[in-house]
Amino acid sequence: MDTRRSQLACSPVVPELEPDLDVDLDAYASPGAPANPGDGQEIDFADGYAQPGQDPDPATEPLPEGRFLDRERSWLAFNERVLELAEDPATPLLERANFLAIFAGNLDEFFMVRVAGLKRRIATGVATRSASGLQPREVLESIWTRSRELMARHAACYQQDVAPELAERGIHLIRWQELTEKEQGRLFTLFRQQIFPVLTPLAVDPAHPFPYISGLSLNLAVVVRNPVSGHEHFARVKVPPLLSRFLEVSPQRYVPLEDVIAAHLEELFPGMEVLAHHMFRVTRNEDLEVEEDDAENLLQALEKELMRRRFGPPVRLEVEESIDPYVLDLLVRELKISDAEVYPLPGPLDLTGLFGIAALDRPELKYPKFVAGTHRDLAEVESASAPDIFAALRERDVLLHHPYDSFSTSVQSFLEQAAADPDVLAIKQTLYRTSGEDSPIVDALIDAAESGKQVLVLVEIKARFDEQANIKWARKLEEAGCHVVYGLVGLKTHCKLSLVVRQEGEVLRRYSHVGTGNYHPKTARLYEDLGLLTADPQVGADLSDLFNRLSGYSRRETYRRLLVAPRSLRDGLISRIGREVANHREGRPASIRIKVNSMVDESVIDALYRASMAGVPVDIWVRGICALRPGVAGLSENIRVRSVLGRFLEHSRVFAFANGGEPEVWLGSADMMHRNLDRRIETLVKVTDPTHRASLNRLLELGMSDRTASWHLGPDGEWTRQAADADGQPLRNVQEMLIDARRRRRGPAIP
């Protein structure tokens, strides 16, 4: 099997796949960051770190420079793994199209946030070397080179593989010149009736300055000539973003919208001669910077900043490779963009439009359908009625594993029952991202408030690219009578928490949910996440204290079963890593297993290096970015790093420690990144049920097993796909194993 085969969670209708792009540029600016003062060249670790005959004390031995991989390169490697799945002929065909769209969307956000942030810091002169030892300019040039290679592979995969294979299966993605005369006539009628009225051609001449080109919009650069004067002119026509990108002209025959517009330019410029047209697309800085000195005005400040986002400076120009040099020179000059930021590509541009094609109803060209069932601990027998969540939680904690366990019959039902239950007095909830126009979570909170319950909702309106939606939800919740707060100044609230207070006889009982994923019913069917539902009094008390801190003036920083960033989470994990070192020295069981989306934080990585140097085995299961170099002799030879990507987006975070024979396991919302540990409210909850701890450890063992299909990270930062064993037989697929387990039985989330 192809060793470059890749896996990643996807959805044709949910393109936002959280590619870990939030601004995390402290390493380029903070003088306190463990940057390397060397010449910016990466260290050659081929001969290891410890010298022959030396037995360094890991607690005091200085760690080498160059021990961190560059996070931007690592992110591009993550997106390359997405591309590898699109390139893999073993991937179902429409899923390949979907992965092409995901790759394109991920790269768009990477340029809008990461590249834009690097350029801004270079321009302002505040950037210093990153932890990897590279100057921001070196990183930026590396990004330009690597992204150019990946974009060329991406275009070739579409042109040479996916589009032809789709045609063989009866789905034709064609260009205008391939249409029949009858089809062209049909599209002319469509153009006149539905497209022409919304088009606005913009001329460029002394009376008309070069128009503003909005970020990520598709545009036609048109050259026309006045037949009377003979003068040539430039004009821009924007492709309407609200119309379908691929138009179905005949059954299973689709043509790009821009081709239809280009074929009818004479209608837009009557009396002029259309000499040429070329497609182009601009990516702009769409990061937000909001001053939070006055928290009461945060909503208004963010709304103004959302307007400013539309006018961010360009960071990338994609053009058709056939573009006329004169037109390209004009675009480069007017957009004030460098040659290095120009990406000539074969058309069509912007393959995020393939999300629509991937959504076609052709189940034989997709992954087999899987429908999650109700967790066994919530309902012994599947039925049409919702389980009694509160009764179940009085019996035991419930460990959920989405999407294998249904979100709608667990977390969603938990909140809906709380809203409808007359014995429930209060609901407290964090919302980072939720679904669009129809959010059952928001509806339940509104119902609860309207029935007289006390409802506190912490809405994170600074959730990137969901700001506008969250502002809308915040206003709707306020209008319904919910108490809406926006967290602490300077910190995003990223933790996933629900607290329900219920009157039961003479006592108040608190029911809690702590999760690793958003309260988003749609992505819960596509993202792999964990959640703990519990009536444990300690967790309930912790959540009460934390919500009081978020909504009031509490300064509590210690909790019973929680680790909370930014105060205690990093230090809590590092102290537990150190405890494993002590256990190993004393001959007690010692090991560290971590599952996260990203592993970047230098302090945590250094602690893991020292644990490895002491002989503690360390396993890291990471979906995306990893700045740690595993397998370096004398430094990290006891560390393994794996990446498992598949039809579901691996999104959960788990931290497991052998703890001298008394296993300790935590789950929660935090990745090992500066932004999570320093600038967000994050929570990890301690898992106390022995069965749950064992289940999570088995999950980690499964993901790290050499018999499981995954990518292995080497000390040079290269990822190697391991998809088959020595005999050429396919290795196990973690996600398919979990799906099969659910189909055989409805049981706990982890088999």
Residues 510 and 497: beta-carbon distance below 8 Å: no
Distances (CA, A) of 302 to 294, 312, 467, 470: 12, 15, 8, 11
Distances (CA, A) of 721 to 81, 640, 716, 727: 9, 14, 15, 16
Q: Which two tokens stand for residue 323?
A: 């573009």
Find the DSSP H helices in 451-565.
Answer: 467-479, 537-551
The total number of residues written for the chain in this structure:
751
Residues 29 and 53: beta-carbon distance below 8 Å: no
DSSP-derived letter for residue 197 is G
Q: Which two tokens stand for residue 280?
A: 């182009």
| Whole-number Å distance between alpha carbons of 747 and 751 | 8
Q: Closest by alpha carbon to 254, among 246, 262, 263?
A: 246
Residues 457 and 483: beta-carbon distance below 8 Å: yes
Q: Which residues, in sequence order, are CB contacts of 497 under 8 Å at separation 6+? A: 428, 429, 430, 512, 513, 514, 515, 543, 546, 547, 683
Q: Which of 154, 264, 278, 494 is catalytic?
A: 494
DSSP secondary structure of 66-99: T-B--HHHHHHHHHHHHHHHHH-TTS-HHHHHHH
Does 494 participate in catalysis according to the annotation?
Answer: yes
475 is in an annotated binding site: no
| Whole-number Å distance between alpha carbons of 148 and 690 | 50
Strand boundaries in 124-193, DSSP class E: 172-173
Residues facing residue 219 across a β-bridge: 238, 280
Q: Which residues, in sequence order, are CB contacts of 691 under 8 Å at separation 6+? A: 748
623 is in an annotated binding site: yes
| Whole-number Å distance between alpha carbons of 108 and 116 | 11
Q: Which residues, in sequence order, are CB contacts of 694 under 8 Å at separation 6+? A: 663
Cis ω on the peptide bond leading into residue 566 (within 30° of 0)?
yes
| Whole-number Å distance between alpha carbons of 594 and 125 | 37
153 is in an annotated binding site: no
433 is in an annotated binding site: yes
609 is in an annotated binding site: no
| Whole-number Å distance between alpha carbons of 23 and 734 | 31
Distances (CA, A) of 156 to 171, 218, 346, 348: 18, 20, 8, 11
106 is in an annotated binding site: yes
| Whole-number Å distance between alpha carbons of 677 and 565 | 5
**Which residue ranges make up the annotated binding site?**
106, 433, 464, 527, 623, 651
Question: Which residues are known to be catalytic?
Answer: 494
**Which residue ranges make up the annotated binding site for ATP?**
106, 527, 623, 651
**Which residue ranges make up the annotated binding site for Mg(2+)?**
433, 464
